Amino acid sequence: MSRRPKHRGFTLVEILIVVVILGILAAIVVPAFGDAVGQTREGAFVSSLRNMAKGAEMYQARTGLYLPDSTTGVLPVGLETYIHASEFENGTPIGGEWDTEFNDNGFTSAIGVVFTTDDPGDAAMTEIDALFDDGDLDAGSFQRGTGAGRYYYVIEP
């Protein structure tokens, strides 16, 4: 007599255990991925802010003038040689829009970000300040503006 080998499948309990283990792993990985995305955006913002600051300083060095004031999200006339219009007008990597100030918002000359919605708040911006400057929004080259949701690289206080 020949014996047929038994084909044994997975039981419902074994499948449920695997699903639970995968769920636990996902719960560990997803928050870490979310933090990585946030850190990437912060790093991209700091890089963009450095580029904007360098462009603003080059403008001032070559023209002898402070940055002109602009409508939020609109590159001031004359800066297109130093700052790409598309980078300025497409917003920042962390949300908000780029802005320049002249004798306004508590600064003689500054370039920064304005959040009209979804302001990340001072805690998040302090983390960015720590990457860019000194971690203090009330001092240094990156500061909180006088209005809500306004943060600037200060060219001239």
Task: For residues 39 and 74, give the distance between their C-alpha atoms in angstroms, rounded to a whole number.
Answer: 27
Confidence of residue 52 (pLDDT cuts 50, 70, 90): very high
Selected residue with higher pLDDT from 37 and 50: 50
pLDDT at 34: 66
Confidence of residue 3 (pLDDT cuts 50, 70, 90): low
Does residue 4 carry a pLDDT above 80? no
Domain boundaries along the sequence of the chain: 12-156
Does residue 35 carry a pLDDT above 80? no
Mean pLDDT of 132-141: 93
pLDDT at 10: 83
Tell me which H or E stretch contains 153: strand 150-156
Mean pLDDT of 29-35: 73
| 19-to-28, 29, 44 alpha-carbon distances in Å | 14, 15, 37
Per DSSP bridges, beta strands 97-104 and 142-144 are unpaired
Q: Are 98 and 73 in contact (CB under 8 A)?
A: yes
Average pLDDT, the chain: 90
Question: Which of 11-15, 33-37, 98-102, 114-118 is predicted least confidently?
Answer: 33-37
61-92 tens-digit pLDDT: 999 999 999 999 999 999 999 999 999 999 99
Share of the chain above pLDDT 70, in %: 94
